[in-house]
Chain A
Amino acid sequence: MIPLLEFDALRVTLPGPRGTRRTVIHRVDLALAPGSAVGLVGESGSGKSLTARSVLGLLPPGARVDGDVRFDGASVPAMRPPELRALRRGGAAMVFQDPRAHINPLRTVGDFLTEALVSVRGLTRAAADARATALLDEVHVADAARRLRQRPAELSGGLLQRVMIAAALAAEPRLLLADEPTTALDVTTQAEVMAVIDEARRRHGLTLLFITHDLALAAAVCDRAAVLYAGTLAEELPAHRLATGATHPYTRALLAARPDPTVPGAKLRAIEGRPLPADEAGPGCPFAPRCARATGTCRTERPEPRPSGDGRAACHHPVPLEGSAP
């Protein structure tokens, strides 16, 4: 099957001081089949958001992309502005982490939802208003007509995130990029918002790239999980195997670092050392300085992603799964 979205050895560099270039994404290979949901997990600064933004061409000014991002077979970095606008208008939509920062505070919710419908899709005001009301109903916002007249400051974070999701759905996209959509929300609201996203995905047959810190959430919502470390794709595997089938030492360490509420008084097993910013990664495996399994090869030679366990891992010495040959 042809993937709807494909990252092909994606590498992103940003301009640094005095003409130098800072690598923020070293290598990401990932394919999203139409209708699938892939969770992208990793620490802050591991390049999750930039990976997602590269799909919409929303990278910071001066960013240079090597490798390729293909949406439905078309290379996004090669797109001219009109094609890029067409992609944003109908191909892919994004739900951002902090809805309050991503909606112009001076305009009403109705303006935010209908502006693109009127100016981009050519709907009449009345039709756009009706569509906006329907969209808010779809994301389970009660009293939609009143909400449309309110300003962002009058809405709670959870409500505003639903407005954001409604705005993304308004474009009738095929791909939904959700950049930590629940991180700014409290836990109960998180669950509601996730349910809204999941429901919309199933109803419209959307492909979902879901970015999160939350391993359990990724495993619950997604078909496949991809783990990013310091701008490098460390491992990619079926989401339901995340807890048991991980072979990359970093994924293993991440899983071990989760608190287990069923064991009273258990100590958290933190990963030694500090998370490596992507631009400090040397020639070897970026995780090597913190990895118990690291050898000389790991420090000098960057591992290529290769089949490991049920998925792929970029590791010279993957952890063997129990009951299988190393």
Chain B
Amino acid sequence: MTTLRLAAAVRGPGRTGPRGRPVPLLAGAVVALVVLAAALAPLIAPHDPNAVDPLAVSLPPGAAHWLGTDDTGRDIASRLLYGARPSLLAPLAVTLAAGTIGTALAVSAAWLGGWWDRLVTAALDLVFGFPGLVLAVVGAALFGAGLPVAVATLTIAYLPYVARVVRGSALRERHLPYVAALRMLGLGGARACLRHLLPNLAPLVLVQTATAFGYTLLDTAAFSFIGLGAQPPTAEWGLMVAQGAPGLLAGRPEQALAAGGAIVLFTVACGLLGTALSQRLAGDRT
């Protein structure tokens, strides 16, 4: 009896994965629902997101407009649904690019070592020193505001988050005996990296990017909010918060709250999923 309880206490909460645990399950459901809504926006949105209606300006929520209309008469619910597309795709692009480039940099640095490792590490530390927003301002000043530039600058800003962690693990993995055995068999470095090192690092990269995804969404929304990301009249969550901000003072908080709520909900869900994944990974490792 005591032994059982002790075993349970030792095992701790991190041992079980997302399956059978309510919080990661709920977070996964939220993420899936939002992705589904973005994909099916043309089918489920009640109105054209960009249709201006001078006769229906700043309407409160009702049967025709579930979340009301904004100050040019556009349907907020439809804009929220359509807005999910750039709001999700931009951070997805950032995460994929940062994940791929970051992992490539990290693995090559760990494998080759020497001056390449020192260069990569120093460059990553340098990037790490700049907040993403500062990089975005510089990017916008050089190449103009817009979602593509925001994605590019955010990719650079997020490289260290992926690369530093992956480099550490790749370094450890690289010195495991099985890698020596592969080299003994005469395998080239590229092949050993691609076919053996990468698959063994994949769970870590997955956790790292899943956690980062929520934050990149928050950051792209912030870029759009300050006018450096998505440009009007695009329906995008960060931009919607900016456009709805005056309404907060005028007693019409629907637009800002709806878009802000969507951002918070998705970011939190992503963070919880990432935590659950990393706990599962840690459980597997012990």
Query: Known interface pairs A93-B184, A116-B185, A171-B185. Does A104 touch B196 (Cβ–Cβ under 8 Å)?
Result: yes
Chain A contact residues (Cβ within 8 angstroms of B): what range?
20 to 34
Which residue on chain A has the smallest CB distance to residue B189?
A81
Inter-subunit contact A102/B180 (CB<8 Å): yes
Chain B contact residues (Cβ within 8 angstroms of A): what range?
10 to 19
Jot down 17 A-B pairs with beta carbons below 8 A, ordered by A: A56-B184, A61-B113, A90-B186, A98-B177, A101-B178, A103-B178, A105-B178, A106-B199, A106-B200, A115-B185, A115-B187, A115-B195, A119-B187, A119-B188, A167-B181, A167-B185, A171-B185
Q: Which residues of A contact B191 (CB under 8 A)?
A: 119
CA distance A119 to B191 in the complex (A): 9
* Residue positions of B touching A, CB distance < 8 A: 113, 176-178, 180-188, 191, 195-196, 199-200
Q: Which residues of B contact A101 (CB under 8 A)?
A: 176-178
User: Chain A 56-91 against B: per-residue CB contact (8 Å), 1 yes, 0 no?
Assistant: 101001000000000000000000000001101110
CA distance A58 to B191 in the complex (A): 18
Give the residue of A98, A104, A170 whose beta carbon is less than 8 angstroms from that of B182: A104
Give the residue of A85, A168, A171 whose beta carbon is less than 8 angstroms from that of B188: A85
Inter-subunit contact B186/A96 (CB<8 Å): no
User: Chain A 34-65 against B: per-residue CB contact (8 Å), 1 yes, 0 no?
Assistant: 00000000000000000000001010010000
Q: Which residues of B contact A103 (CB under 8 A)?
A: 178, 181
Inter-subunit contact B200/A88 (CB<8 Å): no
A107 within 8 A of B: yes
A135 within 8 A of B: no
In A153-175, the 8 Å CB interface with B consists of 164, 167-168, 170-171
CA distance A40 to B187 in the complex (A): 27
Main secondary structure of the interface of B (DSSP, over half): helix
CA distance A167 to B178 in the complex (A): 13
* Residue positions of A touching B, CB distance < 8 A: 56, 58, 61, 85-86, 88-90, 93-94, 96, 98, 101-107, 115-116, 119-120, 164, 167-168, 170-171
Inter-subunit contact B187/A102 (CB<8 Å): no
Inter-subunit contact A88/B113 (CB<8 Å): no
Query: Known interface pairs A115-B185, A119-B191. Does A104 touch B200 (Cβ–Cβ under 8 Å)?
Result: yes
Shortest Cβ distance from B187 into chain A, in angstroms? Answer: 6
Q: Which residues of A contact B183 (CB under 8 A)?
A: 58, 88
Query: Known interface pairs A104-B196, A119-B191. Does A58 touch B177 (Cβ–Cβ under 8 Å)?
Result: no
Give the residue of B180, B187, B195 whose beta carbon is less than 8 angstroms from that of A120: B187
Give the residue of A61, A88, A104 whose beta carbon is less than 8 angstroms from that of B178: A104
Query: Known interface pairs A107-B196, A120-B186, A171-B186. Does A102 touch B181 (Cβ–Cβ under 8 Å)?
Result: yes
Q: A94-B181, A115-B185 are in contact. List 13 more A-B contacts (CB 8 A).
A: A88-B185, A93-B184, A96-B181, A101-B176, A101-B177, A102-B177, A103-B178, A104-B178, A106-B199, A115-B195, A120-B185, A120-B186, A171-B185
